[in-house]
Homo-oligomer: A and B are copies of this chain.
């Protein structure tokens, strides 16, 4: 880890960066996650529900694990980032339980200088591992990183070939047996058969973000990106204020999606995601979701897979399903466009 973080010219294709220190995730972290987002999906909230699915106990929320792994990578990858451009090929590989210590590492899989020579795009494949060394999560992200010196000469561009989405066969089954649970165990919500491709769900509620909340979250994740924490510096910056960590918006949108997707219990993969406009404290986040595809898991006939596109907005309710216009341009109130796989009971 370079003091002051890495600049574009510090990265080399194929380089592997170990993101120490590791982090033991506990029920304390899980409680904070609940307090920050109010997520209510049954297996992550209740040991009883988790055990009824064959899990040892309530696993950590998939996005808490994602943020922890992501946070570990920030000091090495994106401390000098101008923008977090996108995610792809995300796969959640096994349930993570309280008490597990995670470590993360990233491999540089692409580098492309921008025409202005001030910045370049760094593509990394980041992997989180538990304390047995097994991979728990892997994803690709790309970020625009400042050059230390615009004049420095860098290698020719290499851009990785990224899949438009994770193939169903490559998704892991998060629970041995995803069965429909009785209502008292949290089984209420839509049946898989009712969630058809093309269907759209307004998640209804809105959640206002406070400075204290997004900073508590982002520190919990060991994410050290400066734009989130330092009002004294940001007052003179691009927006005049702190920017909310994009992952905070993802977690709010996912928690809101309980309204309408209460049984879409697990996130199995992330196909793509873009933070299309910034979110600030004081903004109220709303969200809606479109079902893009539905599948039976190729290796697990009891598991239904939902490919979902969730759009989050700020200060703009989602009853009319706002999104990019015909031109592909996002209105300024759309802040997130996320494409992910959820796993749920097929029956």
Contact residues of A with B, CB < 8 Å?
1, 3-4, 18, 20-24, 26-32, 34-38, 40-42, 45-49, 57-58, 99, 101, 103, 105, 131, 181-188, 204-208, 210-213, 215-220, 222, 224, 226, 229-233, 242, 259-260, 262, 282, 284, 315, 317
Give the residue name and chain of the B residue nearest to A26 (CB): B27
Chain B residues within an 8 Å CB radius of A185? 20-22, 103
Whether A232 pairs with B206 at a CB distance below 8 angstroms is yes
* Minimum CB–CB distance for A46 against chain B, Å: 4
Per the bound structure, the CA–CA distance linking A22 and B213 in Å amounts to 25
Whether B40 pairs with A22 at a CB distance below 8 angstroms is no
- Identical chains bound together, number: 3
Further 17 A-B residue pairs, CB within 8 A, beyond A31-B220, A38-B218, A103-B185 = A3-B260, A21-B45, A21-B46, A22-B42, A22-B49, A28-B31, A34-B222, A48-B101, A48-B131, A205-B224, A206-B230, A206-B233, A208-B242, A210-B210, A212-B213, A231-B282, A233-B317
Say which residue of B3, B28, B46 sits within 8 Å of A23 (CB atoms).
B46
Chain B residues within an 8 Å CB radius of A282? 231
* Minimum CB–CB distance for A27 against chain B, Å: 4
Task: Known contacts A20-B188, A220-B35; decide if A210 and B215 are in contact (CB<8 Å).
Answer: yes
* Minimum CB–CB distance for A271 against chain B, Å: 27
Chain B residues within an 8 Å CB radius of A47? 24, 99, 101, 131
Chain B residues within an 8 Å CB radius of A259? 3
Say which residue of B34, B38, B99, B284 sits within 8 Å of A232 (CB atoms).
B284
Per the bound structure, the CA–CA distance linking A188 and B20 in Å amounts to 7
Chain B residues within an 8 Å CB radius of A205? 224, 226, 229-230
Per the bound structure, the CA–CA distance linking A333 and B183 in Å amounts to 42
Say which residue of B4, B49, B99 sits within 8 Å of A204 (CB atoms).
B4
Whether B220 pairs with A34 at a CB distance below 8 angstroms is yes
Chain B residues within an 8 Å CB radius of A26? 27-28, 30-31
Chain B residues within an 8 Å CB radius of A207? 229-230
* Minimum CB–CB distance for A342 against chain B, Å: 16
Per the bound structure, the CA–CA distance linking A49 and B20 in Å amounts to 10
Give the residue name and chain of the B residue nearest to A100 (CB): B47
Task: Known contacts A38-B219, A205-B224, A206-B230; decide if A49 and B28 are in contact (CB<8 Å).
Answer: no
Per the bound structure, the CA–CA distance linking A260 and B220 in Å amounts to 20
Per the bound structure, the CA–CA distance linking A314 and B38 in Å amounts to 27
Per the bound structure, the CA–CA distance linking A178 and B131 in Å amounts to 21
Whether A230 pairs with B18 at a CB distance below 8 angstroms is no
Chain B residues within an 8 Å CB radius of A101? 46-48
A-B pairs, 8 with minimum CB distance: A21-B186, A28-B31, A38-B219, A232-B284, A21-B42, A212-B212, A28-B28, A26-B27
* Minimum CB–CB distance for A209 against chain B, Å: 9
Chain B residues within an 8 Å CB radius of A4? 204
- Name the residue among A3, A99, A208 with the largest chain B CB count within 10 angstroms: A208
Task: Known contacts A206-B230, A230-B206; decide if A22 and B35 are in contact (CB<8 Å).
Answer: no
Task: Known contacts A38-B222, A205-B226, A233-B284; decide if A46 and B28 are in contact (CB<8 Å).
Answer: no
